[in-house]
A and B are shown apart, each in its own frame.
Chain A
Amino acid sequence: MTSSLSTDLVLILPEIILAAGAMALLVLGAFRGEGSAGLVRFGAFGLLIAVLILTACAGTGEKVLGFNDMLVVDGFGSFMKVLVLIGALVAIPMSVDFFRRAATDRFEYPVLILLATVGMMLMISANDLITLYVGLELQSLALYVLAAFLRDDVRSTEAGLKYFVLGALSSGMLLYGCSLIYGFSGTTNFTDLAAGIASLEGQGAGIGLVVGIVFLVAGLAFKVSAVPFHMWTPDVYEGSPTPVTAFFAAAPKVAAMALFLRALTVPFGEIAAQWQQIIIFVSIASMLLGAFAAIGQTNMKRLLAYSSIGHVGYALVGLAAGGEEGIRGVLVYMAIYLVMTLGTFGVLLVMRKDGKAVETIQDFAGLGRSHPWLAFVMAAFMFSLAGIPPLAGFFAKFYVFISAIEQGLYVLSVIGMLASVVSAFYYLRVVKIMYFDAPEGAPLELPFPLASRVVVGVTGFLTVLYFVVPAPLVTAAGAAAKTLLP
Chain B
Amino acid sequence: MTVTALVFYLFAAITVASGFMVISARNPVHSVLFLILAFFNAAGLFLLLGAEFLAMILVIVYVGAVAVLFLFVVMMLDVNFVELRQGFLQYLPVGALIGLILLVELLLVFGSWSVLPEAGNLAAARAPDAATLSNTDALGRILYTQYLLPFQAAGAILLVAMIGAIVLTLRSRPGVKRQKISDQVTRTMETAVEVKKVQPGQGI
Contact = CB atoms under 8 A, between A and B. Distances in A.
B120 A200 contact: no
Interface in A290-347: none
B5 interface: no
Contacts of B125: 187, 192
A289 B169 CA distance: 37
Contacts of A197: 116
B79 interface: no
A145 B168 contact: yes
Contacts of B163: 26, 108, 111-112, 115, 145
Interface string A18-37: 01000100100000001000
Given A70-B150, A71-B149, A106-B167, A207 B114 contact: yes
Given A12-B149, A148-B168, A137 B115 contact: no
B120 A186 contact: yes
A351 interface: no
Given A118-B156, A208-B109, A186 B122 contact: yes
B112 interface: yes
Interface in B105-164: 105, 108-110, 112-126, 145-150, 153-154, 156-157, 159-161, 163-164
A197 B119 CA distance: 10
A186 B118 contact: yes
Contacts of B126: 68, 187, 189, 192
A186 B116 contact: yes
Given A199-B116, A207-B114, A208-B114, A141 B161 contact: yes
Contacts of A425: none
A160 B167 CA distance: 13
Contact of B113 (A131, A160, A208): A208
Contacts, number: 136
Say whether chain B's binding surface is mostly helix, strand, loop, or mixed.
Answer: helix
Interface residues of B, number: 39
B160 A138 contact: yes
B156 A138 contact: yes
A205 interface: yes
A211 interface: yes
Interface residues of A, number: 55
A142 interface: yes
Contacts of B123: 186-187
A195 interface: yes
A371 interface: no
B157 A206 contact: no
Contacts of B120: 186
A209 interface: yes
Contacts of B147: 70, 130
Contact of B117 (A111, A133, A199): A199
Given A207-B109, A207-B112, A141 B146 contact: no
B155 to A, nearest CB: 10
A222 interface: no
B156 A206 contact: no
B122 A192 contact: yes
A206 B119 CA distance: 12
Nearest to A145: B164
Contacts of B156: 19, 115, 118-119, 138
A108 B169 CA distance: 13
Contacts of A195: 118, 122
Query: Counting chain A CB atoms within 10 Å of each CB, which of B113, B114, B121 scores highest?
Result: B114
Nearest to A5: B148
A112 B160 contact: yes
A246 B114 CA distance: 45
Contact of A196 (B113, B119, B145, B168): B119
B149 A196 contact: no
Contacts of B169: 151
A211 B114 CA distance: 12
A187 B122 contact: yes
A213 to B, nearest CB: 12
A141 B122 contact: no
Given A67-B148, A192-B122, A23 B159 contact: yes
Contact of B150 (A131, A180, A183, A209): A131
Interface string B50-94: 000000000000000000000000000000000000000000000
Given A141-B157, A141-B161, A186-B121, A180 B109 contact: yes
Contacts of A189: 122, 126
A279 B118 CA distance: 27
A11 B145 CA distance: 16
Given A196-B119, A199-B116, A142 B164 contact: yes
Nearest to A15: B153
Contacts of A211: 105, 108-109
A260 interface: no
Given A185-B119, A208-B115, 5 more contacts: A70-B147, A108-B166, A115-B159, A119-B153, A185-B116
14 contacts: A8-B149, A23-B159, A115-B163, A130-B147, A131-B150, A133-B150, A137-B157, A141-B161, A184-B115, A185-B116, A185-B119, A186-B116, A186-B119, A207-B112
Interface of A: 1, 5, 8, 12, 19, 23, 26, 34, 67-68, 70-71, 106, 108, 111-112, 115, 118-119, 122, 128, 130-131, 133-135, 137-138, 141-142, 144-145, 148-149, 151, 160, 180, 183-187, 189, 192, 195-197, 199-200, 205-209, 211
